């Protein structure tokens, strides 16, 4: 079934706490993310006596005092908005108005705050579809109208992806907006987890499921989109077959994000929310965290962060690490544990991206390398590389030359994804295709040429793999994942400049390494923090770190404005 329409209201944290790490200020301030039907979502209700994964029985719908209070608040909002006619009723969405002539409504699948979801039949061919019918009378304010428009634009942007519920069309009449989608009858991922022995998957089956979720996240991020509510309830199976494809659905909280920006509202479901969401500084990395939580659940049948209350869950998310000692973790492969740990890194900059995670050996086993999508962070790093100083570019090339093939597996996958003719180098046309075709905006040819020329250190008009590595390295990840390896790699890169091994890089050594003519002082000054006329190892490492701090965020599609949540 298609989950019913629902809306989550962001909770509030006092402004004086926004720049803190939050654990000491949690009680009474952290949000209680809401789920469908206006109450805590099914995946976020802790069981007091145990943390085993279970679904609580659904409570019957009733006209509670909470419902009556909500309707009263809605009426007050209408009055404050300056009229008694809901904004939805006054809006022409621009969708076709012939729904009833094309579809026959069937049985009810579910309902939420704004409408109902039905099975419907296409009168032309008899195909069964899912129809989300949204009541215009409940779109009180303009922001509710924008939310509906945005959800449809998101479904259109992701159309054709094999692991996203397919969007067919949108209709409207005087009373409703109709969203016609693919009908998924295989049930929720959560139900399949609960049906498994000990509520857990085998590693092989779990990897298949996780691979599909990561593909969705990678595609979203490439489109400048963050799902923001990744959880088992929001993934449906197309059919009841064991090998049925998994489909992402419910993009009601999803939103586009501008380059370099962060979301400051708190939305989602308690068990799956990332630390940076609670700190009001979240981006696409939060989707990867949520997939890490789901992977943990798939493998052991328990949630990694658990408490009797939602405030307690948030404390666990911010403070503690998942338990990998309790059964069945000792019998789970090292590769699987390594994968989960790299997704549940609390620092979002050090966390794997969705595309990087698809290159991890545990997920990749049995998968096709050609299926790995372009990584938005790799494309961003290439754009950023052209802005770096000459010294920083030289330093990154030196660092790249110290890495071994295993450390470069994900970058190799990205290189192969761009090098479509498998020539071993990236041409201007291939670079243009990577930077433009699969993104929501188009980059002009001169700008693409500028990026290629910045990366192309040997000026042969092509980008080879070594040059590509230098331009796309995730320095912060390298440092955080293995601090000892970072120290040795950065020192080895430093020594490529330090010819006399005295522990410093002088202006003459810089000239020898770079081959540059003219004054070398501007390059030296950039890294020479203490102004002693030379660059120490610590100053060199600082220079490398600044590369990871200046990379941007995912792009935002043109013509789509980010709207606030209710």
- What's the CATH class of domain 187-371? mainly alpha
Q: What pLDDT score does 444 carry? A: 62
Residue 22 Cα to chain centre, angstroms: 23
Binding residues, as ranges, are 132
- Taking the domains of the chain in order of start, what are their residue ranges? 187-371, 374-566
255-277 residue pLDDT tens: 999 877 899 999 999 999 999 99
307-327 residue pLDDT tens: 999 999 999 999 999 999 999
Name the CATH architecture for the domain at 374-566: Orthogonal Bundle (1.10)
476-498 residue pLDDT tens: 888 888 889 999 999 999 999 99
Query: Which of helix, strand or coil describes residue 466?
Result: helix
> Catalytic one among 147, 229, 287, 413?
229
**Residue 460 burial by CB count (10 A; 0-12/13-18/19+): exposed, middle or buried?**
exposed
The 8 Å CB, 24+ separation contacts for 43-47 are 43/190, 43/231, 43/232, 43/233, 43/269, 43/271, 43/272, 44/269, 44/270, 44/271, 44/272, 44/310, 44/313, 46/270, 46/306, 46/307, 46/308, 46/309, 46/310, 46/312, 46/313
Q: What pLDDT score does 260 carry? A: 77
CA atoms within 13 A on the CB side of 499: 9
Binding residues for ATP, as ranges, are 132
Q: What pLDDT score does 288 carry? A: 98
Model pTM above 0.85: no
What DSSP string describes 319-347?
H-----SSTTGGGS-HHHHHHHHHHS-SS
Is 255 assigned a catalytic role?
no
The larger pLDDT score, comparing residue 214 to residue 73, is at: 214
384-426 residue pLDDT tens: 898 898 899 999 999 999 999 888 989 999 999 899 999 999 9
What is the chain's Cα-based Rg? 26
* Sign of the C-alpha dihedral computed for residues 194, 52, 109 and 218 taken in this order: negative
């Amino acid at each position: 079934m298609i989950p019913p329409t629902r809306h989550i209201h962001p909770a509030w944290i006092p402004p004086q706490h926004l720049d803190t790490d939050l654990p000491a200020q949690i009680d009474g301030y952290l949000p209680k993310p809401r789920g469908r039907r206006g109450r805590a979502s099914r995946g976020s209700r802790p069981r007091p006596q145990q943390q085993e994964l279970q679904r609580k029985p659904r409570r019957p719908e009733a006209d509670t005092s909470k419902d009556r209070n909500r309707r009263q608040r809605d009426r007050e909002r209408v009055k404050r908005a300056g009229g008694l006619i809901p904004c939805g009723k006054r809006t022409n969405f621009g969708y076709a108005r012939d729904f009833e002539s094309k579809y026959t409504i069937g049985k009810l699948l579910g309902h939420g705050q704004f409408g109902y979801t039905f099975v419907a039949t296409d009168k032309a061919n008899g195909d069964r579809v899912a129809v989300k019918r949204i009541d215009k009378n409940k779109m009180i304010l303009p922001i509710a109208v924008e939310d509906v428009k945005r959800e449809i634009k998101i479904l259109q942007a992701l159309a054709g992806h094999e692991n996203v519920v397919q969007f067919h069309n949108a209709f409207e009449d005087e009373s409703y907006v109709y969203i016609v989608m693919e009908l998924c009858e295989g049930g929720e991922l959560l139900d399949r987890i609960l049906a498994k022995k000990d509520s857990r998957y085998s590693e092989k089956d779990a990897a298949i499921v996780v691979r599909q979720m990561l593909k969705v996240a990678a595609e979203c991020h490439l489109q400048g989109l963050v799902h923001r509510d990744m959880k088992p309830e929001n993934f449906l199976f197309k059919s009841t077959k064991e090998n049925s494809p998994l489909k992402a659905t419910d993009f009601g909280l999803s939103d586009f994000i501008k380059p370099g920006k962060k979301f400051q509202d708190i939305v989602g479901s308690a068990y799956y929310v990332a630390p940076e969401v609670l700190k009001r500084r979240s981006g696409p990395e939060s989707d990867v965290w949520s997939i890490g939580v789901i992977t943990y659940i798939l493998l052991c049948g328990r949630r990694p962060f658990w408490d009797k209350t939602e405030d307690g869950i948030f404390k666990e998310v911010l403070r503690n690490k998942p338990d990998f000692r309790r059964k069945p973790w000792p019998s789970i492969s090292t590769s699987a544990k390594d994968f989960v740990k790299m997704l549940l890194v609390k620092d979002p900059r050090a966390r794997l991206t969705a595309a990087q995670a698809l290159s991890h050996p545990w997920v990749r086993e049995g998968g096709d390398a050609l299926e790995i999508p372009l990584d938005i962070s790799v494309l961003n790093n290439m754009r950023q590389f052209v802005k770096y100083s000459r010294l920083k570019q030289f330093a990154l090339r030196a660092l790249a030359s110290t890495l071994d093939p295993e450390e470069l597996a994900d970058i190799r996958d990205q290189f192969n994804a761009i090098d479509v003719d498998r020539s071993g180098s990236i041409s201007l046309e291939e670079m243009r295709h990577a930077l433009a075709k699969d993104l929501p905006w188009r980059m002009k040819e001169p700008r693409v040429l500028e990026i290629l020329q910045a990366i192309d250190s040997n000026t042969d008009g092509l980008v080879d793999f070594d040059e590509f590595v230098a331009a796309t390295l995730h320095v912060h990840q390298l440092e955080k994942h293995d601090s000892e390896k970072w120290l040795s790699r950065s020192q080895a890169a430093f020594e490529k400049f330090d010819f006399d091994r005295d522990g410093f890089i002088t202006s003459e050594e810089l000239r020898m390494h770079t081959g540059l003519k003219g004054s070398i002082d501007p390059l030296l000054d950039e890294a020479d923090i203490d102004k002693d006329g030379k660059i120490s190892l610590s100053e060199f490492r600082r220079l490398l770190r600044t590369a990871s701090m200046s990379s941007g965020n995912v792009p935002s599609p043109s013509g789509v404005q980010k709207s606030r949540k209710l």
